[in-house]
Structure formats: structure tokens, C-alpha cells
Amino acid sequence: MRKIVALVSGLVFGAGLVVSDMVNPARVRGFLDLFGGAWDPTLAFVMGGAMAVMIAAWLFVSRRSKSLLGYTLPGQPAGTIDARLIGGAAVFGVGWGLVGLCPGPAIANLFLGGWPVLVFIASMLAGMMAFSLLNRTA
């Protein structure tokens, strides 16, 4: 049941990305173009809608000790801001700004985006494998 819920959640998330056109790298780059004269505020509305849903979800979950399926909920994250977190956020942000894709939209765009999306996903997987290898030795 847990995998079915995860699959349905992922499909709803992906459909939302497609419907909102957030799988379009030009839309994301337009949002990040604050001073180039082509600013597109659409992504701000999508983020605002997502934050509203997450606030409601956090308020709901904060009163529970188990998930709706009966699983134990994870605890609060450490909240530590260190060089590793800042470095990862910077790499993510630079890649997102240059390409206009991040992992969720790239996967949702897998069959629609052509070879640029395939190159992005291959690069993403290579980066994940490199991190995994480097993280073992650290």
C-alpha cells in the first residue's frame, strides 16, 4: 500500500508540474530573469500554491504521531546549516538557473523534452553516483 500511495503521489506531483508548465525550462529561466526585461512570475504562483498546501500538511501532521497508513513519522531535521548544505544548495541553484530544470520536472518531462532532458537526467544520475562514491570515503 505504501508504494501505491508513493506512486500516486508522484503521478499527481508530475501532472501538476506538466499542467503548470514547470517542465518548460524557458518558464523557469524567465522567472529567474529579474532584470532582463522578460521576467515571468508564473513560478512564484506555483511556489506559493505549493507552500500553502505544505503549511496545511505540516499543521495536520504536527498533531499526529503516525502517518495515515500507520507508519512512524520522521523527526525534525537537524537544522544545522553547514558548508555541505550551502555548497549543495549552490550547485543545485546554479544548475537550475543554467538549465531551467531540477530533478522533479526533468523526470516529469522525460518523454516530452527530447535529448536535452535525457542529457540532464544522465548527468544528474552521474552526479548522484559520484556523490555516493565520495560520501563513502568521507
Rounded to whole angstroms, what are the CA distances from 43 to 6, 35, 57, 82?
25, 16, 21, 28
- The per-residue pLDDT for range 6-51, each reduced to its tens digit, is 899 889 988 888 888 888 888 888 888 888 888 889 888 988 998 9
The Cα–Cα gap between 61 and 68 comes to 9
**C-alpha grid cell for residue 120?**
540532464
pLDDT number for residue 138: 54
Name which of 85, 65, 84, 83 is nearest 75 in CA terms: 65
pLDDT number for residue 55: 93
pTM (two decimals): 0.68
Rounded to whole angstroms, what are the CA distances from 73 to 10, 13, 55, 66, 122?
19, 21, 17, 5, 32
pLDDT number for residue 137: 64
The Cα–Cα gap between 81 and 95 comes to 21
- Does position 129 have pLDDT exceeding 90, yes or no? yes
pLDDT number for residue 34: 85
pLDDT number for residue 86: 93
- Does position 125 have pLDDT exceeding 70, yes or no? yes
- The per-residue pLDDT for range 62-108, each reduced to its tens digit, is 888 888 888 888 877 778 899 988 998 998 888 888 888 888 888 88
Mean pLDDT of all residues belonging to the chain: 86
Return the SS3 of 128.
helix
